[in-house]
Structure 1
Amino acid sequence: MEFAKGKIDLLLTGIGTLVTPVGIHPRRGEKMKQLHTINGAAIAIRDGYIVDFGQEQELLHRLQHAEITNTVDVGGRLVTPGLVDPHTHLVHAGSREHELALKRAGVPYLDILAQGGGILSTVKATRAATEQELYAKARRSLNEMLLQGVTTVEAKSGYGLTVEDELKQLRVAKQLDDTHPIDLVSTFMGAHAVPVEYKERTDAFVELIISEMLPRVAAEQLAQFCDVFCEQGVFSIEQSRRILLAGKQLGLRPKVHADEIVPLGGAELAGDVGAISAEHLLAASDEGLARMAAGNVIPVLLPGTSFNLGVKQHARARDMIDRYNLPVALATDYNPGSCPTESIQLIIMLASLHLKMTPEEILTACTLNAACALGRGGDIGSVEVGKRADLAVFDAPSISYLPYHFGINHTFGVIKNGVQVVWNREIMTEQHGVGVR
């Protein structure tokens, strides 16, 4: 690429090691381990996009006639693509620390839900909250995610369970997307639980979702995806299928909370309806994983949830990667009940410990594959010419150090759309109303 007459907005130099997956499609099986590594690297950015990168001296030679507005030395640190969190329940009110004792006493999650706790407890708090209250709480969480190196986040609704309260959550997510450096991708999940007013009338609630909620969400362009909690005692396979296909007809691509607790067949359903992803999958069957592979469904694994719930069973990441050639992604599942953490770096450690994933697989799962689970693999998820300049800078000698030295935040800096938004471990810009910490 010729830069003799070009302008570079930001030149990152002094990169100790640059590590990135490559491509615009999800990396499968063995290819999850294949990363592009450059020691002594530099990256050139213009208008928020990567225009060149490579070994520093070679890049500087190519840029010798370019006008460079700003040069930043990252001090020999590790640089990766910005991390992507493709499964969160970001917008909600309240908290559920009172359920911790029940969980530790061995009360099953579905029993807590049946007693009016769990999701239904958060539904009550979220319905009572104003949009401004929801915005303020979610914004604080986004700041924590940004400080962890996360540059794109998926946000699900599902704590309103009425037409207006679901729309309220999605409008807050849209406002955050407009005002916070992190990009938000919204998912409509009205089928998260059956509200108390529809107890024993699940089919009637499904009809409300299909006839009223989905058309409003689509008409107001508040979401890109439609998700369902397909689980025993919540929404059956056929109820889930109806909702997902109705959403698909309105342009909302399916996602599925699948086989989290019992092997109901959610993974198979995800393959059947052309879902972009199936999520959780602790109890997914071999047939389900095979159907996902045949349907090009991305498994989004949430090891923080099984860790926090204290269950012995974890998603079979090794089978998914080694036997079924699936492109695994990782996410926090940040929510007030089963996984109240914004820390993607905790998830990185748990993926190593409980899912037996390698550091290379974990990085791919948290960048390119996670981006593809949101339909954004062509724009983010890897360091390549033409992609957005979303980058994470870590105080770490290698990617293996991230799961090895656990319990702390390794992020030194974050570049979002070519702008320094975190540096020296602090949010450094007031752009978009984030404020300085």
Structure 2
Amino acid sequence: MQQLHPDDVIWRNARLATMDPHHSAPYGLLEQHALVVRDRAILAVIPEADIPQEHPNCVDLQGRLVTPGLIDCHNHLVFGGDRAAEWEQRLNGVSYQTISARGGGINATVTATRSSTPETLLALARQRLLRLMNEGVTTLEIKSGYGLSAESEEKMLDVARKLGRDNPVEISPTLLSAHAVPAEYRHDPDAYITLVCDDIMPALWRKGLFEAVDVFCENVGFTPAQSERVFKAAARLGIPVKGHVEQLSNLGGAALVSRYQGLSADHIEYLDEAGVKAMAASGTAAVLLPGAFYFLQERQRPPVELLRTHGVAMAVATDYNPGTSPFASLHLAMNMACVQFGLTPEEAWAGVTRHAARALGRGKTHGQLKAGYVADFIVWDAQSPVEMVYEPGRNPLYQRIFRGEAV
């Protein structure tokens, strides 16, 4: 270890669930260890016995559990309105087609988002963000996709940027203009894809408003051919891609994402072995979204055992959105991933730390307690990480550390 400076902070007397796979214990657990933090990053992970006695800047955690900050790698946090009333209608027997014909569904959210001021969107999104932060989230993705026009998509992404600027959290913004066909293009979806590729994407990329491009490749979204047009346009600009794929059917979307070295393939309930092998070959992460599976009462589960067999990283995320997963709780998503999809608690924790970091292109800097990684970590009044998965309504968060500072 380097010579310590007086300004270095040692977070000592802790049980570290490092989530570092090089440690053999479950969760990468290290008893009686300390984190040395310098310049907003982890300088070293050291045994308690190696702490210099004379160091002036120590924080005694009194044996508490410390984990990496949680990462929500699939989130639609910014939108206007809500769809509680139409959910009630569906439960009362009104079909989705009828609701959609009345202007409901995603069109209702698009309308509400377009008509909302940036200030309103920011206030609503911040309330949702605080719920995630209070559970220990330090990094999260925010997708656009409820504007579906250059002006409204920019408005959403600008709100996401302000959230990251004004709160102790790191935002990974994603352009999801290819989320649905807006009403004005309903008779010519190919023309809308042209707008996305030739106008919306390059203009907002030049403004630095996003870092990846997403597409909803599905029989109620965009075809593989239309999705590939978006990926090709992104590739020309050097933009990483990801995809909502294989949620309701198998269109080969995961293999398409993998062909473009995509960061992640998300949902993937109908993923087959060919798609899994493609993801394994490209290093594309699988993002499991049990909230939508639960809320839509789906029956087709993601092929978790195939993903394990082929060594595909499995991330877990909230998919927080007004239509299919209105759950701003990553603890709940972890519990659902175990109960509904058969993940182990340790896999669920990897899914919201190191694998979620990988899904956001941050696998070498986030999601582990390890030298060289950002100093984002959570102190819990808990003995084991399983407690947050087992009982999602109880939040034992003691302290949230972002970039080395208690917040």
List per-residue Cα deviations over 1:291-315 (Å, max 9, x = no partner): 1112211111111111112222222
Q: Tell me the residue number matched to 1:308.
A: 295
In 1, Cα distance between the equivalents of 2:295 and 2:103? 20
List per-residue Cα deviations over 1:238-292 (Å, max 9, x = no partner): 0000012102211221110001111122112112222110001111122211211
In 2, Cα distance between the equivalents of 1:46 and 1:156? 32
Q: Tell me the residue number matched to 1:432.
A: none
Equivalent residue letter for 2:222: F
Q: Tell me the residue number matched to 2:379.
A: 393
Alignment of 1:185-264 (within 5 A): 185-264=172-251
Q: Tell me the residue number matched to 1:175.
A: 162
Q: Tell me the residue number matched to 2:31.
A: 39
SS of the aligned residue for 2:341 comes to coil
SS of the aligned residue for 1:7 comes to coil
User: Are residues 1:2 and 2:2 paired?
Assistant: yes
Q: Unaligned stretches of 5+ in structure 2?
A: none
In 1, Cα distance between the equivalents of 2:298 and 2:220? 19
Q: Is the 8 A contact 1:329 1:373 kept in 2?
A: yes
Q: Is the 8 A contact 2:255 2:279 kept in 1?
A: yes
Equivalent residue letter for 2:314: V
In 1, Cα distance between the equivalents of 2:306 and 2:93? 28
Normalised to the residue count of structure 2, the TM-score between the two structures is 0.94
User: Are residues 1:342 and 2:333 paired?
Assistant: no
How far residue 316 of structure 1 moved from its aligned partner, in angstroms, is 2.2
In 1, Cα distance between the equivalents of 2:372 and 2:2? 14
Q: Tell me the residue number matched to 2:404.
A: 418
For residue 360 of structure 2, the aligned residue among 374, 378, 399 is 374
List per-residue Cα deviations over 1:15-72 (Å, max 9, x = no partner): 1x2112227xxx9xxx9996421112221212211112232222x2xx335442xx33
In 1, Cα distance between the equivalents of 2:216 and 2:98? 16
Q: Tell me the residue number matched to 1:365.
A: 351
For residue 57 of structure 1, the aligned residue among 27, 49, 57 is 49
For residue 20 of structure 2, the aligned residue among 14, 22, 45 is 22
Equivalent residue letter for 2:3: F
How far residue 410 of structure 1 moved from its aligned partner, in angstroms, is 2.8
- Between 1:101-110 and 1:284-293, the stretch displaced more is 101-110
Q: Judging changes above 3 Å, is the alpha-carbon distance between structure 1 residues 114 and 294 closer, same or farther for their aligned structure 2 residues?
A: farther
Percent same amino acid at aligned positions? 37
Equivalent residue letter for 2:43: V
Q: Judging changes above 3 Å, is the alpha-carbon distance between structure 1 residues 290 and 107 closer, same or farther for their aligned structure 2 residues?
A: farther
User: Are residues 1:384 and 2:382 paired?
Assistant: no
Alignment of 1:106-117 (within 5 A): 113=100, 116-117=103-104
SS of the aligned residue for 2:250 comes to coil
In 2, Cα distance between the equivalents of 1:389 and 1:43? 9
Q: Tell me the residue number matched to 1:279.
A: 266
- Between 1:135-144 and 1:396-405, the stretch displaced more is 396-405
In 2, Cα distance between the equivalents of 1:340 and 1:32? 36
Q: Is the 8 A contact 1:103 1:309 kept in 2?
A: no
Q: Judging changes above 3 Å, is the alpha-carbon distance between structure 1 residues 277 and 109 closer, same or farther for their aligned structure 2 residues?
A: farther
Equivalent residue letter for 2:390: Y
Q: Is the 8 A contact 2:272 2:303 kept in 1?
A: no
Equivalent residue letter for 1:197: E
How far residue 81 of structure 1 moved from its aligned partner, in angstroms, is 0.5
In 2, Cα distance between the equivalents of 1:351 and 1:408? 17
In 2, Cα distance between the equivalents of 1:274 and 1:202? 25
How far residue 2 of structure 1 moved from its aligned partner, in angstroms, is 3.4
Q: Tell me the residue number matched to 1:319.
A: 306
How far residue 196 of structure 1 moved from its aligned partner, in angstroms, is 0.7
User: Are residues 1:156 and 2:143 paired?
Assistant: yes
Q: Is the 8 A contact 2:70 2:352 kept in 1?
A: yes
In 2, Cα distance between the equivalents of 1:214 and 1:320? 32
Equivalent residue letter for 2:48: E
Q: Tell me the residue number matched to 2:337.
A: 351
Higher relative contact order (CA 8 A, sep 6+): 1
How far residue 14 of structure 1 moved from its aligned partner, in angstroms, is 2.9
In 1, Cα distance between the equivalents of 2:98 and 2:67? 42
Q: Judging changes above 3 Å, is the alpha-carbon distance between structure 1 residues 108 and 66 closer, same or farther for their aligned structure 2 residues?
A: farther
Q: Tell me the residue number matched to 1:268.
A: 255
List per-residue Cα deviations over 1:204-244 (Å, max 9, x = no partner): 11111111101111110111100011110320000000012
How far residue 9 of structure 1 moved from its aligned partner, in angstroms, is 4.0
Q: Tell me the residue number matched to 1:120.
A: 107
Equivalent residue letter for 2:317: A
Q: Tell me the residue number matched to 1:425.
A: none
Q: Is the 8 A contact 2:18 2:30 kept in 1?
A: no
Q: Judging changes above 3 Å, is the alpha-carbon distance between structure 1 residues 103 and 286 closer, same or farther for their aligned structure 2 residues?
A: farther
Q: Tell me the residue number matched to 2:393.
A: 407
Normalised to the residue count of structure 1, the TM-score between the two structures is 0.88
In 2, Cα distance between the equivalents of 1:315 and 1:56? 42
List per-residue Cα deviations over 1:127-173 (Å, max 9, x = no partner): 01111111111111111111101000000000000111001111111
In 2, Cα distance between the equivalents of 1:102 and 1:232? 24
